[in-house]
């Protein structure tokens, strides 16, 4: 597979630190793929992406793009990677449009193409009315969106995004996810996405790598991780407050109590109708207020992986 | 609002630019300088005020002690220019680099085909251009108010344009190696008077203790001040000008050699 980014056994230990911020981390991102990098605060995610985007030197290990080591061939980074900065400081006196087009030109676009791409991106986010606004005068969300658009312009093969949806309103968040999916499908861009928003990421990512305390806990597609986990599919039920279900209902095998009147029944999706009939047969007074099928989410996988990682370390 | 699917193929059809060509490098440098200069959109009043108040008040104060002494006035005028142009630039560069380091502002540049040297050149160029009103005011006061026999010649202008670069490596190193912006600010403010007052900038070298005068041969401020005094009084001595050029080249070499985005 060409246009591939490989992170191989990366270790990073900061000066005077006792532990590694990244400890033998390896993964690959292929062309046309969105890889979610998840982990608790302080897990080493930002340290990792800052090494991939050329801001930090790894203590050991290598990062390859098309089998070329970015540590020795420095032009690889500037010609293939685009990374979203957390702050726009040096350019704060530029307008949104100036910042985006100049970033495109610094990536090698002609002024004409930079203008066309900038306008296309600003149109998508309905952001043209802010094009003349100076960055320092923008709200946090507007600055974030401007920074994201400046990251996308030039359509680099590998895009690195660290918490791109922070501070964005729901409409812009949706557009952002739609755009990322479009760019990976139509242009074959690969995207390394650091986020805490597992609910939004679930719909966008192809694979995830979950790290904690600098180490990879698990990786794979969401379906693979569900298959490999102890998480179960089933139905969540909520009984009305005015009737406590009978002991027979509460004694059903596979029924787990979540709180006072909320339960989870582990079973396959097609067993749902049977479950309802069984409960009404056992306890005719029991009234089910809510009943829905639930399968493990990326959030469940993440929580289970981190919990298992913590238990292993303790 | 267009739908995302409408990406025109013309937006992608441009051939890949050679990011390492000289033409691209010059264009990128120009873009960075323009970006740096954009700060005057909001800060120009304060920039002008700070640039004028400090050197002009210093000039007025010192001039009270040396009324009519042309040599002393020449030292004071050229010294103020050094204070504004050389150490002032080093101070602002160190502080800006310190802020960029603290807030991870360098992250924006690391995936672009530019180096820290490009950033240093952009900042020094901005600082040099923005300090010109201050330089002109110092010369005007020295020449027209205190009647110092000095002329702002073409070579003076060239020396002033180059002088900001002579300490750029020191400013850049302080900014990027300091723990944070606050520490960078403190260090630059400590270094600033050492380079200015422990060198024959405001006073002739025979006024300095011998050991201090010897050490000052390592400071670019010594040569910038001498070159300015010579050029403004019509003396032609190529040595200080050559040393100013040498310090410029050394600074560029050090920044290029030792300042990678990766730390």
Q: Which residues of B touch A134 (CB under 8 A)?
A: 41-42
Termini Cα distance of chain B:
42
Choice among A34-38, B101-105, B159-163, B191-195 with the minimum mean pLDDT? B101-105
pLDDT band at B263 (very low <50, low <70, confident <90, very high): low
Q: Which residues of A touch B10 (CB under 8 A)?
A: 116
Contacts of B194 (CB under 8 A, 6+ apart): none
Q: Do B111 and A81 touch (CB under 8 A)?
A: yes
Q: Do B111 and A54 touch (CB under 8 A)?
A: yes
Give the pLDDT score at A16. Answer: 87
Instruction: Give the mean model confidence (pLDDT) for residues B122-129.
Output: 94
Q: In what order do the strands lie in the sheet with A234-239?
A: A255-259, A262-266, A234-239, A288-294
Q: Which residues of A touch B17 (CB under 8 A)?
A: 108-110
Residue A120 touches chain B, beta carbons under 8 Å:
yes
- B15 inside domain: no
Q: How far is CA A298 from CA A38, A92, A233, A262, A303, in A?
A: 10, 37, 13, 22, 9
Contacts of B7 (CB under 8 A, 6+ apart): A120, A182, A186
Q: Which residues of A touch B35 (CB under 8 A)?
A: 90-91, 93-94, 102
Residue B150 predicted with pLDDT over 70:
yes
In terms of residue numbers, what domain contains B230? Answer: 43-258
Interface of B with A in 100-129 (CB under 8 A): 100, 103-114, 119
Closest chain B residue by Cα to residue A175: B4
Most confident option among A32-41, B53-62, B130-139, B141-150: A32-41
- E strand or H helix at A174: helix A170-186
Q: How far is A8 from chain B (nearest CA, A)?
A: 18
Q: How far is B55 from chain A (nearest CA, A)?
A: 27
Residue B67 predicted with pLDDT over 80:
no
| Candidates B20, B39, B114; nearest CB to A106 | B114
Closest chain B residue by Cα to residue A55: B262
Is the Cβ–Cβ distance between A81 and A103 less than 8 Å?
no
Contacts of A126 (CB under 8 A, 6+ apart): B1
Residue B70 predicted with pLDDT over 80:
yes
pTM: 0.86
- B8 inside domain: no
- B61 inside domain: yes
User: What are the strands, taking DSSP E only, across chain B?
Assistant: none
Residue B2 predicted with pLDDT over 60:
no
Q: How far is B259 from chain A (nearest CA, A)?
A: 12
Closest chain A residue by Cα to residue B106: A55
Q: How far is A87 from chain B (nearest CA, A)?
A: 6
Closest chain B residue by Cα to residue A158: B111
Give the pLDDT score at B3. Answer: 66
Residue B68 predicted with pLDDT over 80:
no
Q: How far is A70 from chain B (nearest CA, A)?
A: 11
| Residues B225-243 pLDDT 10s | 999 999 998 887 899 999 9
Q: Do A109 and B14 touch (CB under 8 A)?
A: yes
- B214 inside domain: yes
- B142 inside domain: yes
Is the Cβ–Cβ distance between B71 and B149 less than 8 Å?
no
| Candidates A83, A93, A107; nearest CB to B39 | A93
Higher pLDDT: B74 or B16? It is B74
Give the pLDDT score at B13. Answer: 66
Give the pLDDT score at A199. Answer: 86
Rounded CA-CA distance A264/A221 in Å is: 25
pLDDT band at B221 (very low <50, low <70, confident <90, very high): very high
Instruction: Give the mean model confidence (pLDDT) for residues B206-215.
Output: 93
Give the pLDDT score at B66. Answer: 76
Instruction: Give the mean model confidence (pLDDT) for residues B155-179.
Output: 92
ipTM attached to this prediction: 0.86
pLDDT band at B176 (very low <50, low <70, confident <90, very high): confident
- B6 inside domain: no
Segments in chain A below pLDDT 50: 1-2
Q: Do A182 and B36 touch (CB under 8 A)?
A: no
Is the Cβ–Cβ distance between A107 and B14 less than 8 Å?
no
Residue A105 touches chain B, beta carbons under 8 Å:
yes
Domain count, chain B: 1
Rounded CA-CA distance A235/A144 in Å is: 39
Rounded CA-CA distance B248/B195 in Å is: 16
Give the pLDDT score at B46. Answer: 82
Q: All domains of chain A, ordered by start, with CATH?
A: 5-227 (3.40.50.300), 232-295 (3.30.70)
- B7 inside domain: no
Phi, psi for A21 (deg, rounded to 5): -75, -35
Is the Cβ–Cβ distance between A4 and A29 less than 8 Å?
yes
Give the pLDDT score at A1. Answer: 45
Q: Do A120 and B5 touch (CB under 8 A)?
A: no
Give the pLDDT score at B94. Answer: 92
A–B interface: beta-carbon pairs under 8 A = 124
- B87 inside domain: yes
Q: Do B35 and A50 touch (CB under 8 A)?
A: no
Q: How far is A126 from chain B (nearest CA, A)?
A: 6
């Amino acid at each position: 597979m060409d246009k591939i980014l490989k992170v191989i056994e990366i270790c990073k230990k900061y000066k005077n630190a006792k532990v590694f911020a990244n400890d033998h981390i390896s993964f690959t991102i292929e062309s046309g793929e969105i890889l979610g990098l998840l982990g608790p605060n302080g897990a080493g995610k930002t340290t990792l992406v800052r090494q991939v985007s050329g801001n930090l030197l790894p203590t050991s290990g290598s990062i390859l793009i098309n089998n070329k080591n970015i540590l020795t061939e420095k032009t690889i980074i500037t010609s293939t990677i685009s990374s979203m900065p957390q702050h726009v400081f040096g350019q704060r006196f530029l307008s949104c449009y100036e910042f985006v087009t100049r970033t495109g030109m610094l990536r090698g676009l002609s002024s004409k193409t930079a203008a066309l791409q900038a306008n296309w991106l600003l149109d998508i986010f309905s952001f043209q009315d802010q094009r003349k606004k100076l960055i320092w005068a923008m709200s946090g969300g507007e600055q974030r969106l401007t920074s994201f658009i400046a990251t996308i312009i030039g359509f680099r093969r590998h895009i690195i995004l660290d918490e791109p949806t922070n501070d964005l309103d729901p409409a812009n968040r949706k557009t952002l996810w739609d755009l990322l999916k479009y760019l990976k499908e139509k242009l074959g861009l690969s995207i390394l996405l650091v986020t805490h928003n597992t609910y939004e990421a679930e719909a966008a990512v192809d694979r995830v790598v979950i790290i904690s305390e600098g180490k990879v806990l698990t990786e794979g597609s969401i379906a693979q991780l569900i298959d490999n986990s102890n998480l179960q599919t089933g139905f969540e039920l909520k009984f009305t407050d005015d009737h406590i279900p009978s002991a027979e209902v509460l004694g059903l095998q596979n029924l787990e109590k979540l709180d006072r009147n909320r339960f989870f029944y582990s079973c396959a999706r097609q067993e749902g109708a049977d479950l309802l009939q069984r409960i009404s047969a056992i306890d005719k007074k029991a009234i089910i207020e809510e009943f829905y099928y639930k399968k493990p989410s990326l959030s469940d996988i993440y929580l289970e992986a981190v919990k298992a990682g913590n238990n292993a370390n303790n | 609002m267009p739908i995302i699917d409408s990406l025109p193929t013309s937006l992608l059809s441009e051939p890949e630019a050679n990011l390492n060509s000289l033409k691209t490098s010059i264009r990128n440098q120009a873009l960075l300088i323009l970006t740096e200069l954009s700060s005057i959109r909001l800060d120009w009043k304060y920039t002008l005020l700070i640039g004028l108040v400090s050197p002009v008040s210093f000039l007025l104060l010192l001039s009270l002690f040396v009324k009519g002494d042309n040599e002393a006035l020449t030292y004071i005028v050229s010294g103020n220019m050094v204070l504004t142009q050389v150490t002032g630039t080093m101070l602002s560069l160190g502080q800006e680099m310190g802020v960029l380091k603290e807030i991870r502002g360098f992250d924006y540049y690391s995936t672009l085909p530019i180096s820290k040297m490009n950033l240093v050149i952009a900042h020094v160029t901005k600082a040099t251009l923005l300090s010109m009103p201050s330089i002109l005011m110092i010369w005007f006061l020295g020449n027209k108010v205190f009647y110092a026999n000095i002329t702002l010649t073409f070579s003076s202008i060239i020396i002033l344009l180059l002088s900001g670069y002579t300490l750029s490596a020191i400013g850049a190193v302080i900014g990027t190696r300091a723990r944070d912006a606050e520490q960078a600010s403190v260090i630059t403010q400590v270094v600033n008077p050492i380079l200015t007052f422990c060198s024959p900038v405001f006073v002739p070298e025979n006024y300095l203790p011998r050991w201090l005068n010897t050490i000052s041969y390592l400071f670019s401020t010594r040569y910038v001040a001498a070159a300015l005094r010579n050029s403004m009084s019509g003396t032609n001595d190529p040595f200080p000008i050559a040393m100013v050029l040498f310090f410029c080249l050394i600074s560029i070499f050090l920044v290029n050699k030792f300042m990678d985005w990766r730390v």
